[in-house]
Amino acid sequence: MKITAVQTVVVNAIHRNWIFVKVLTDQPGLYGWGEATLEWKTRAVCATIEDLEPFVIGEDPTRIEHVVRRMTGFSFWPLGAIGLSAVSGIEHALWDIKGKALGVPVHDLLGGRVRDNVAVYTHLRRAKIGAQVPTSDVNAFCDAVQETVEMGYNAIKLGFVPYTGYTAPLPEIRHVEKLAHAVRERVGDGVEIMTDFHGRPDSVEAARAYIDAITPIKPLFVEEAIQPGDVGAMAELARQVACPLATGERLFTPREFADLAEKRAVAYIQPDLAHCGGLTGGRKIAAIAEAAHMGIAPHNPMGPVAGAVALHFDLATPNFVIQEEAVGLVPWFRDICTQTYPLDMQNGVWGVPDAPGLGIEIDEAEAARHPFAQEEIPALEAILPDGRIANW
């Protein structure tokens, strides 16, 4: 069996363009789907997939590690977020092809499932664009949280922290504390709450002030309390607070995660399988984390193929904890797929798919109804009161 072509199908989902990758083979009707979505870098990722195509044409798609090494090793330059997202999308499709060729779901190829379902969490109102509520209105925010939980979720991730800098003003700390307590009181102790700082604090001290305000509600974790990449600062912060920390959506290589593990800098890591080299990279990262007693909570606010990849990974990964999803991002999220769709959530969990491969197919006719368009970029609003650009 040989790879004959690599194609991209771009679908505009308002705040991001989903980049679906279709790898074709010389076997009639046998192809695979992957996803290489990277916010606001659509043109660059699609062009990089074209640049990588010569490295994979003519190769056996079932030799997945070998094909990945062709893309990474022959590229010479470190690939970074754009390059590794392109690699990841192609890599996903290889697993899909192999599973289809053998007639088994991908989680069987990963050693078999170690659990019977996958716990998931969502965002406010399932991340539906245009349905968010400002944190300034505590009652309305709590109403939206309750509405989300009543959709069947047992866990939710929220943004409590404002755009900030090197200091955390006392009025802001007080408001975050009030908001967090109100949310916990509204949903009770049976719902896991996570909060994403998005790396907004520019200092360990500012991050610590907000974490201390949130800690009494016992969040499962605080995500990206500071910008990623400074393992020493993250480890220092972890020693100063009484709340589990998480990071990893903007880290890409096993080496980066090994640094976190060696310093015990966080309790949970969050690799994104659409950016870290796919299942090949994700499995290596998970093993590093397991050796350091760290749980794994994969990042994934993207499209349905990325969700399917995460589902198979989670089923076969012993130190998996909980999976991010954003299936409410656009009202037609489900429609972009054919009848094969493994991401139906019931009672806060995804079930076990048994279809060959990833168990998901993109309806290309439906996809064509949502062609590439310049995304709406919410990060452009991240401005501090004095006019300085903040971390979104």
Whether 275 sits among the annotated catalytic residues: the reply is no
| Residue in this structure with the two tokens 């480890």, named with its chain if needed | 235
Q: What is the mean pLDDT of residues 304-311?
A: 98
Region at 159 (left for phi over 0; alpha for psi -120 to 50; beta for the rest): beta
Q: What is the mean pLDDT of the chain?
A: 97
With a CB cutoff of 8 Å and minimum separation 6, the contacts of 286 are: 271, 296, 313, 317, 319, 320
What end-to-end distance do the CA atoms of the chain give, in Å?
Answer: 45
In this predicted structure, what is the pLDDT of residue 205? 98
Predicted pLDDT at 339: 80
Q: Span 109-117, mean pLDDT?
A: 98
What does 111-155 look like in DSSP terms, one character per residue? Answer: T--SSS-EEEEEEGGGG-TT----TT-HHHHHHHHHHHHTTT-SE
DSSP label of 281: H
Whether 198 sits among the annotated catalytic residues: the reply is yes
Tokens (6 digits) for 176: 């975050």
CB 23 within 8 A of CB 97: yes
Give the pLDDT score at 356: 98
Q: Which amino acid is at 151?
A: M
Q: Where residue 7 falls among pLDDT bands split at 50, 70, 90? A: very high
Among the options 198, 275, 312, 370, which is catalytic?
Answer: 198
The residue-averaged pLDDT of 10-27 equals 97
Q: 15: which strand partners?
A: none
Query: What CA dihedral angle connects 299, 303, 304 and 310, to 10 degrees?
Result: -20
Distance CA 65, CA 354 (A): 24
Asked if 207 and 201 count as a contact pair (C-beta separation under 8 A), the reply is: yes
Question: Over the stretch 231-274, which tens digit does the pLDDT of each residue have?
Answer: 999 999 999 999 999 999 999 999 999 999 999 999 999 999 99
| Mean pLDDT across 361-388 | 95
Instruction: Measure the CA–CA gap between 157 and 109, rounded to whole angstroms.
Output: 31
How far from 213 is each of 75, 83, 174, 208, 338, CA to CA, in Å?
46, 38, 8, 9, 45
How is residue 259 written in tokens?
């640094």
pLDDT at residue 221, as a whole number:
98
Is the confidence at residue 220, as pLDDT, over 90? yes
Q: Which of 15, 123, 275, 299 is catalytic?
A: 299
Q: What is the pLDDT of residue 350?
A: 97
Distances (CA, A) of 273 to 50, 64, 119, 210, 278: 20, 15, 17, 29, 5
Burial of 32 (0-12, 13-18, 19+ CB in 10 A): buried
The tokens for 119 are: 């716990």
For residues 349 and 120, give the distance between their C-alpha atoms in angstroms, rounded to a whole number.
Answer: 6
Please, what's the b/e burial string for 73-103 (b: 16 or more CB within 10 A of its CB; e: otherwise)?
eebeeebebbbbbbbbbbbbbbbbbbbbbee
AA letter at 157: K
Q: Which domains does the chain have, with CATH numbers?
A: 3-105 (3.30.390.10), 109-354 (3.20.20.120)
Give strand pairing partners of 194. Answer: 157, 221
> Is pLDDT of 340 > 90?
no
- Report the C-alpha dihedral over residues 352, 29, 90, 302, rounded to 10 degrees: -50
Mean pLDDT, to the nearest integer, of 208-234?
Answer: 97
pLDDT computed for residue 15 by the predictor: 93
DSSP, collapsed to helix, strand or coil, labels residue 320 as strand
- CA–CA separation, 160 vs 179, rounded Å? 7
* Residue range 159-180, pLDDT digits in tens: 999 999 999 999 999 999 999 9
pTM of the model: 0.97
